[in-house]
Structures are given as structure tokens and as C-alpha cells.
Amino acid sequence: MNNEKEHGQPHILVVDDEETLRYLIREGVERSGYGCSVASDGLEALKILEEKGADVVISDIMMPGMDGIELAKRVKDEHDADVILITGFIDEYSYDKVIEIGVSDFLEKPIGMHELILRLRRVLRERTNIRERNRAEEELRDSLKKLRTAMESIVEALVLAIEKKDPYTSGHQKRVATFAGAIAKEMGLPQDQIDGVRMAAMIHDIGKNAIPGQILSKPAELTKLEMGMIKEHPQIGYDILKGIEFPWPVAQMVLQHHERIDGSGYPQGLLGDAIYLAAKILGVADVVEAMASHRPYRASLGLERAMEEISKNSGILYDPDVVDAGLRLFREKGFEF
């Protein structure tokens, strides 16, 4: 459909089975500076809308064949146009009921041309405001999309930097992000929260960049001092990320991903609800992936051992809802890393 306008002016379609009235309205509309077409019934009006389009349809209600109510419904369903209805049988149509079908205004015959033009201008003004607001919202969405794409590229670069420092855990963060996102989805969280969980998971070990490489890749059990250094990585990660304005509390999620609901975790020893739900999800995904994967100091413990670990400690170390969602993914829904 082409919305045909002369020199960019709004185009109005007048629909009435009374020839004198429709041409009287047309004269008033054109005198006000708008383009105008006329139709004698609903079917002719729909044909004009298909060929030319219109910004506003001004239609009588009582017409042979398709009445104005049915025409208004068709216009709202099939065309980008506002509708103003007019009728000489005002007692038969309540204002609220007519407005409910989506028309922009409702006038009683006999109509005053001055009043009709004032109403038309108001409808056109509101139409322009809505279009400008929609355009601004679309531009904002595009800007946010570009920012998110840029942010994701930066995160990817951070992931590569971490993996270069700790090649033995190459892919660990991406696998954790995949599993954590799947858990969040299984729990029915909104898409925005799922995206936040995935983003935090992608860089949850960024703090390991500050840990000496020989400790990260040591092919033996770590000493108490070395383990103490490893345990600093959530705080280091938080310190690196806290100044970045993510759409989600990513720095806090990274800080808390080794916290446990009984207070035995680190670095803050938080209890229960003091831990972000996203961090609880990240913690479970991290434990499962780590246990199921090879490490320099041990072979893979296997997925079943990982499932046993979170199941045994559900409600003790790990949030029960998170554990249940993770177990369902593997045991009922065929999830694989």
C-alpha cells in the first residue's frame, strides 16, 4: 500500500453515502490544507486505502452494506490510519463503546465544520507525536543494540585474555555461560536476566589474570598459600569490573560466584538471600563444569560426580531451585556441554 500525499501533507479519506455531506467535508478539509479523497461506502473506502492510503478516515456510521463500525475495525486491523466516526443516531452508539474499537474520535451530526477540523487537527497532532515517539524509541533500541554488540565484543576479548593466561581452562567460561543461561531459562527467568547471567558467566574468572600462570597451570595439588591466592580472583574480578556500567550487576555476580548459601563460601561468606540469584546460578554452573572437565592437577571427575555433588548439597551449599533446574536439564532434557 502506498500512502500517497501531495508535498508531504496529510491525506484524509471521507466516507459517507450522502454525496452533499461528503463533498462539504471534503471542501472543508482541503481548505484547511490537507489532501482529501472521498468514498460513498465502506468497500470503496477500502479500495482507496489499498491504492492511496490515508492518515485519517472520517466516516459516517449508518451506511448501506458495510457500516462505519465495521469499516473502522477493518481500517485499524489492515491499515496505518486513524478513524473519526460521525453519526446522526448518537443514542444508538455510546461514546465509550465506539472508542473501544480503536477510533480516535466520535462526533454527532449535524457536524459543525469548525469543530470537525479542530478534532481532525488534534488527531493528526497526536498521530505525529506517536510516530515521533516510536521513531525515537526505535533509534534508542538501535543504539542499545549497537552498545550491547560492542560490549559483547569487549567481553569476548576479555575471555580470550583469560584463556591465554590459563589455557587449561580454555572454553570453561563459555561452557559455564551456556549452562548458567540454560538454568536461568529453565527457572523461567525473564530474558533480560538470562542475558545478564550469561554475560557474568562469560567473564566470571577474569580475576585470574592477576594470578601467576605457574599457579593456574600447576600439575599438582595447590598449597594453602597458593589456594589463598586463587581465592582472591572473585574480588580481583569485581575490582576490574565495578567501574563498567553493564545493564546488569555483573561485577557483583562475579564477586559472589564462589559464595555458598550456608556462609561457607568466599570472599565475603554471604548467607542465603544475601547472594544474588544470578550468582547462585553461576556458582552451580561453575562447579558442575569444573568437576566434569580435566584440570592440570587431576583428571575429569565426570558429570555424574558433578550431579551427585550439587544434589547432595542442595539446600546446604547450593540453592535448591537452581540445583533442581540443573538436574532436570541433564537428566530429563538432554543438555550437554
Percent of the chain having pLDDT more than 90?
59
Give the CATH number of the domain where residue 62 resides: 3.40.50.2300
- Asked, for residue 304, whether it belongs to a domain, the answer is yes
- Asked, for residue 312, whether it belongs to a domain, the answer is yes
**Domain coverage including residue 253:** 166-331
Cell numbers 565495578: residue: 242
In this structure, the answer to whether residues 170 and 77 fall within a common structural domain is no
Give the CATH number of the domain where residue 200 resides: 1.10.3210.10
In this structure, the answer to whether residues 114 and 238 fall within a common structural domain is no
Q: DSSP H helical segments within 166-223, as ranges? A: 172-186, 191-202, 213-216
- Please identify, among 135, 157, 178, the residue that sits at the C-terminal boundary of a domain: 135
- Asked, for residue 156, whether it belongs to a domain, the answer is no
Residue 3 binned pLDDT confidence (cut-offs 50, 70, 90): very low
Long-range contacts of the stretch 65-71 (C-beta < 8 A, 24+):
65/41, 66/41, 66/42, 67/42, 68/15, 68/42, 69/93, 69/98, 69/101, 70/42, 71/15, 71/42, 71/45, 71/46
In this structure, the answer to whether residues 120 and 173 fall within a common structural domain is no
Quick one: which of 126, 123, 132 has its CA closest to 29? Answer: 123
d(C-alpha 162, C-alpha 155), whole Å: 11
In this structure, the answer to whether residues 229 and 115 fall within a common structural domain is no
Read off the C-alpha cell for 263: 556462609
Following CA atoms 304, 305, 311, 313 in sequence, which dihedral angle do they give, to the nearest 10 degrees? -170
- Please identify, among 135, 157, 184, the residue that sits at the C-terminal boundary of a domain: 135
In this structure, the answer to whether residues 222 and 309 fall within a common structural domain is yes
- Asked, for residue 281, whether it belongs to a domain, the answer is yes
pLDDT digits (tens, 9 = 90+) for 46-56: 999 999 999 99
In this structure, the answer to whether residues 125 and 170 fall within a common structural domain is no
Quick one: which of 51, 31, 35 has its CA closest to 14? Answer: 35
**Beta strand pairing status for 35-39 and 105-108?**
unpaired
- Asked, for residue 143, whether it belongs to a domain, the answer is no
* Range with the poorest average pLDDT among 160-174, 188-202, 264-278: 160-174
pTM here?
Answer: 0.60
pLDDT digits (tens, 9 = 90+) for 190-217: 999 999 999 999 899 888 888 887 787 7
d(C-alpha 23, C-alpha 6), whole Å: 19
3-class secondary structure per residue, 217-270: CCCCCCCHHHHHHHCCHHHHHHHHHCCCCCCCCHHHHHHHCCCCCECCCCCCCC
Q: At what angle do helices 277-292 and 320-331 cross, to 10 degrees?
A: 40
In this structure, the answer to whether residues 109 and 230 fall within a common structural domain is no
Instruction: Catalogue the E-assigned strands of the chain.
Output: 11-15, 35-39, 56-60, 82-87, 105-108
In this structure, the answer to whether residues 121 and 252 fall within a common structural domain is no
- For residues 61 and 165, the model is more confident at 61
Amino acid at 330: F
pLDDT digits (tens, 9 = 90+) for 272-310: 999 999 999 999 999 999 898 877 667 778 899 999 999
- Asked, for residue 6, whether it belongs to a domain, the answer is no
d(C-alpha 76, C-alpha 59), whole Å: 13
- Asked, for residue 125, whether it belongs to a domain, the answer is yes
Q: Are 175 and 306 in contact (CB under 8 A)?
A: no
In this structure, the answer to whether residues 106 and 228 fall within a common structural domain is no
> What is the total count of domains within the chain?
2
Read off the C-alpha cell for 337: 556441554
In this structure, the answer to whether residues 182 and 293 fall within a common structural domain is yes
d(C-alpha 306, C-alpha 299), whole Å: 13
- Asked, for residue 154, whether it belongs to a domain, the answer is no
Q: Are 220 and 246 in contact (CB under 8 A)?
A: no
In this structure, the answer to whether residues 187 and 262 fall within a common structural domain is yes
The answer, yes or no, to whether residue 148 has pLDDT greater than 90, is: no
d(C-alpha 70, C-alpha 91), whole Å: 18
In this structure, the answer to whether residues 234 and 312 fall within a common structural domain is yes
- Please identify, among 91, 115, 135, the residue that sits at the C-terminal boundary of a domain: 135
Residue 166 binned pLDDT confidence (cut-offs 50, 70, 90): low
